[in-house]
A and B are shown apart, each in its own frame.
Chain A
């Protein structure tokens, strides 16, 4: 099966009015059903890369292939159907007056019948455990609920590939745990850009590390998180769950003055 593959080849991008390249020669290939974490410091190029994956920007230099289609203005519709993008701030993602309308927005644009749309909305909301929120306005939801609904808005379009930008930011620990469990249960190809390295560890067997618009490392998550020198160079730190227990290692902290 080739249609769930994401292939980026020598991708470059410079923001208008800037001289420094936001992306300079990014290449990788993500296969069907893989879960990949994309990590890196602020400004390493993660968000710029994500915007290329659903055709918001067509590549000017280099190429992006989603399944059988190269991303070009002609194929953008098909690409957006294949790639479901969950944005960092759910307030940006949820723009309709009620949760139902929001989850129905994608399928309606795809031209499904009202019955089919209702079915898809119910199914997507049930998947994320938010069926009871259907009639609520999005601005009344809690952070965790908003995040779940944001994922549902994309699921209702039945994409093959999910791209998530910081899915666990601004969530309380339990809501974060729930989002991770939800994503863990999916069979889609998943690409997760984040600073939450513990989530990457829990969710993604493979990690791509970005630094200054380039792919600095690409490999098994455990190998990467054990490479202290690499992490330091990229402004990252070992996930908490791989560090020594904070209680036991308290002796290593500088003693406090009374």
Chain B
């Protein structure tokens, strides 16, 4: 229950951050969505052993965070919170892939460890980029941007409703768990069966609510089209931001920047 409620608090934190003001906040949502999407693609494009090639890409989240004044601790905290999932995904790599790829200072390092590290880095890069997007734009603005960029209507509508009702649903779940705890006086952990029953009734409630919301939408003329009238304006800053970053991503992809830097250092 505590988890659910503190999770909610966190959403409000993201919203508060999004209400701030900075050069990054002022960019058009479409620009930020595009740059973030490009960033994700370029991060994913890197080969599984290409750890060094990934490193320069970290400039984007770091620069965006610095320019927008987002608290780095907050983003790092979120990364830590989500890291168990990634560790779970990558944990078998060092076991399965034992071929020695490089030797650093006499220490042999297998391909497995490198690809594991690359998974972790890619995860940190993509998640922090996504968090920065939402924390400087606001979820609803991201959806607006998506719909202006011709993302499928059904998809945008799903996202919007998900964001709107996650609070309601989590509140309902918290109330149910509280009601259950108050009547469960034993210290024993509740049986799986109990959780199944709670989840089942949460699902039924959600379905009921969905029907009522649909009714409310229909009665205000909903016809499958989601219309959000808000003027959006692309300014020079938007073009500059998008051009700079996309050029940078391509540069990183085409040239081995860490290698070049290394050569320069060695040459001197």
Contacts and interface: CB of A to CB of B under 8 A. Distances in A.
Interface of A: 51, 54, 56, 77, 80-81, 83-85, 87, 89, 91-93, 95-98, 101, 104-106, 108-110, 114, 117-118, 137-139, 153-154, 157
Interface string B148-172: 0000000000001101110110000
B215 A97 contact: no
Main secondary structure of the interface of A (DSSP, over half): helix
Interface residues of B, number: 28
B221 interface: yes
A81 B223 CA distance: 13
A97 B139 contact: yes
Given A80-B220, A117-B229, 12 more contacts: A56-B219, A81-B221, A97-B139, A97-B143, A101-B140, A104-B228, A104-B229, A105-B222, A109-B221, A109-B225, A118-B229, A137-B164
Nearest to A76: B218
Contacts of B243: none
Q: Which 7 A-B pairs have the closest CB atoms?
A: A97-B140, A109-B221, A106-B220, A108-B227, A92-B212, A114-B229, A139-B167
Interface string B187-224: 00000000000000000000001001101111111110
Interface of B: 15, 139-140, 143, 160-161, 163-165, 167-168, 209, 212-213, 215-223, 225, 227-229, 231
B216 A97 contact: no
A88 B27 CA distance: 39
B219 A139 contact: no
A83 B225 CA distance: 21
Nearest to A156: B220
Nearest to B12: A140
14 contacts: A51-B215, A77-B221, A80-B219, A84-B219, A85-B219, A87-B212, A98-B140, A101-B140, A105-B220, A105-B222, A109-B222, A137-B140, A154-B220, A157-B220
Contacts of B139: 97
